[in-house]
Structure formats: C-alpha cells, structure tokens
Amino acid sequence: MRIELDGWAKKPMTVTEGLNEKVARVAELLEQLYEDVFAIRARRGDRWQIVHDTVAASVRRKLADYALYLDKDVKGVDEDLRAKARQDIRMQLLLAFQNQVLANIPRVSEATKQEWLAQLDSMTVFCSINHPDSPFSLSFYDAASYDTGIRYYTKGEPKPEGVEKGVQLDFYDFTHRLTGKAQEAALAQLFLEDEFQQQYDPQLLPLADEFRRLYPESGWMPWVDRAVAKNRAFNETTIPADIHFPDVSSAKTIKDVTDRYKGKVIFMDIWATWCGPCRASFAHVGPLQEYAAANDVVLLYLSIDRPENDEKWRKMAAHYNLKGEHVRDQVAFHQEIFDTFGHNGALSIPRCIIFDKQGNIRFGTAAFPEQWERLKKQLQEAAQ
C-alpha cells in the first residue's frame, strides 16, 4: 500500500496504491457522512435541511431515506465491510435525529413532544443500536448514551431503584437493553470515555468487576484495565502539604480572598474540573511554580465548580500537583466573577489574571502557563 501525506491538504492522507477503489469510495463516503452529522450537531451545516424542519416525521423520513440511498453506494465490497458500513450509516444518522429531538423538544407543546419521541422510537428501531456491527461506528457510543439519557431524562421513565444517575445508570441501561457485541462495546467505552474525558468517576471502580464477570475474555480488557488503573490512582490521590485549601466561606467579594495575600503578586487561574483546556494547561505549570517559589508569587487557583464536586476538585488539584492556594466559587461572589472576568454573562476558561502587590488587577487577561516567556514578563512588571 502506498500512502501520501500532505499536512496542508483538505484530506492530509491519501492512499494512492494498494487499496481497492470501491473500498476507498466507501471509506470516503463514511468520512463525509461523519463530517455532515458533526456539522448538524455543531450548527455549522445542514445537508438534509432538517435544522429548521419542525415536523418530526419529515426529519425522520429524510434521514431514513438517506440511509437507504447510501446503502446502494456500499455494494460491491465484501459482505463484512458492507454490513459494517451500513450499520455505521445508521448510527450516524440516528445520532443526527437524536440531536434534532433534543433541540426541538424544549420549545414545543406536549403533543408535539410526544410526536418527536414516537418518531425517535421508529428511527431507533430502523437503525438498530443493538446490531452486532453497530460498535464499528464512531457514533455508536454517543448514540447509545443519548438513547439512555432520552429514556430517563426526556421520556421520564422511572430510574431503577438503587441505581444512581450518571455512569451507574448508563451501565444498568446498557446491560438491560443491549446484548452481545453491542453490550460489550458500550460497557467498555464507559471506562474509556471516563479516561478520555479525565472524569475519574469513583462509581466506575466497582462496575469494573462486573464488566470482568460479564466478559472475562473481552478484547477490550487491556484498555479497560488501563482506564480503571488511572481512575483508581486519581481517587487514591493524597493531598500534599504544599497544596492549600483556605476557608473562604465568609468571603463576600473576590477582594476578600486576594486581601489574604497583601503585598504579594498574585497569579490567579480560573478553572473547573470539567474544563479540558484547563487540565491541558496544567501540564505546563512547572516553570511558573519554580518562578513563584523563588519570587514570592502567590499561585491562586479559583475553581467555579459546584459544591457537589468539592471532593473531585480537591483530588484534581493534587492529581496535577497544583502547588499553591485553592479556593472554590462561593455564592457571595459568584456573580462578581462573571461580571468582572466574563462577557455578556459568559465566562471563558481557563482565564488567568495577575494582581499587583497593592491588590489591583494588573493584567485582566494574563498569558497562560504554556506562554511562559510572556507570562514571566507580566509577572515581573506586576512586581515593580
């Protein structure tokens, strides 16, 4: 097989020799479909003219008809690839329909809501999440998860007694609704998604034993074991002495917090445990920590996590070895954070701020730790 790579091209990788033309055509078709569905979800495109279509039956018919149309384009390849391609098409288009259901339901009457849900049931049967080839699709896990969420949070089906929301509910639903390869893949990807999103949900740890019991010879096991190991390491994290959590429950303003460090330059990082870019930024804090220790700079991490995430917030601070002061958003100054550092009610994070020694904001939008040279100059200027 001969492959050409061009980082500037729209399609960076092209197979020029050794690949059956029909197989290549099927691969391109599936890739284009993925892009079209993503465009719908991101509101960047509307290939099937469904975004503004408020008739549920019409939207379902457009997507189902397109699936049947594409079925003709995957003929001529071996039966295994054809079966997987057909199921990939259905998973992707089911995800597109689920997206439209969730977009329309909040603003329609109860009768129209029930029509959307009825059409969703029809589309779900047509697409068959439980098909053994469904896991071939990159959209399978999202479609299966959406199906669970819609069932319990949109349709209002009663939650099983003793089953908590979140991963416990997903695990329960997958084991009771899916079978065979579809069940195995959906359950395995619960653990992989936890690792990828760096959620480290402690509820997954006991579920790992149940997965091993159900699928002791699973080919997914090495990846599941790796994900579980990372989850366990995170949840067994201990808080080192140089990570502090001062009590700010009596603080009424941000100034009440920063006044604790009068006479010092303060580098404030506003973040949250659910913020991927925030976590990515933590990989670059080494030079900042060294500079802060040598120049008596306070590293103040302000989390906008909700109170129910308190334990996870503390563990994540230790997991990333964020030496310094850690405070969490309080009701008293929550709005002040958004008014001062946000725009039109929205706050983009991570957001870095530098206060001078008098407690004034010197840089309202400071450089990130990964922009170290620029950040160092800002810290030096604030110290003058």
Task: Give the pTM.
Answer: 0.83
Q: What's the token pair of residue 72? A: 């003709």
Instruction: Provide the terminal-to-terminal Cα distance of the chain, rounded to the nearest Å.
Output: 62
Q: What Cα–Cα distance (Å) separates residue 303 from each residue in 183, 271, 329?
A: 37, 5, 6
The residue among 342, 336, 354 whose CA lies nearest residue 299 is: 354
Does residue 176 sit in the same domain as residue 267? no
Does residue 247 sit in the same domain as residue 231? no
DSSP H helical segments within 133-218, as ranges? 140-149, 167-177, 180-196, 204-214
Q: 158: which DSSP letter?
A: P
Q: What Cα–Cα distance (Å) separates residue 99 from each residue in 104, 121, 219, 235, 326?
A: 9, 14, 31, 33, 38
- The reported pLDDT for the residue numbered 19 is 62
pLDDT tens for each residue of 127-167: 999 999 999 999 999 999 999 999 999 999 999 999 988 99
Q: What's the token pair of residue 274? A: 């659910």
Provide the CATH number for the domain around residue 321.
Answer: 3.40.30.10
Instruction: Tell me: pLDDT of 86 over 80.
Output: yes
Of 181, 209, 235, the domain-final residue: 235
Does residue 261 sit in the same domain as residue 373? yes
- The reported pLDDT for the residue numbered 43 is 92
- The reported pLDDT for the residue numbered 338 is 93
Strand order in the sheet with 324-328: 243-244, 324-328, 298-303, 266-271, 351-355, 361-363
- The reported pLDDT for the residue numbered 23 is 84
Does residue 77 sit in the same domain as residue 192? yes
Does residue 230 sit in the same domain as residue 263? no
Does residue 228 sit in the same domain as residue 247? no
Does residue 228 sit in the same domain as residue 268? no
Q: What's the token pair of residue 160? A: 């099983």
Parent domain of 228: 2-235
What are the backbone angles phi and psi of residue 294, rounded to the nearest 5°? Answer: -80, -20
- The reported pLDDT for the residue numbered 1 is 63
pLDDT tens for each residue of 26-65: 888 999 999 999 999 999 999 999 999 999 999 999 999 9
Task: Report the C-alpha dihedral over residues 29, 35, 41, 45, rounded to 10 degrees.
Answer: -100
Number of CB atoms found within 10 A of residue 267's CB = 24
User: Beta partners for 300?
Assistant: 268, 325
Q: How many CA atoms lie within 13 A of 215 on its CB side?
A: 21
User: Beta partners for 14?
Assistant: 4
pLDDT tens for each residue of 157-216: 999 999 988 999 999 999 999 999 999 999 999 999 999 999 999 999 999 999 999 999
Of 235, 265, 289, the domain-final residue: 235
> Cα(88)–Cα(82) distance, rounded to whole angstroms?
10
Number of structural domains in the chain: 2
Of 191, 206, 235, the domain-final residue: 235
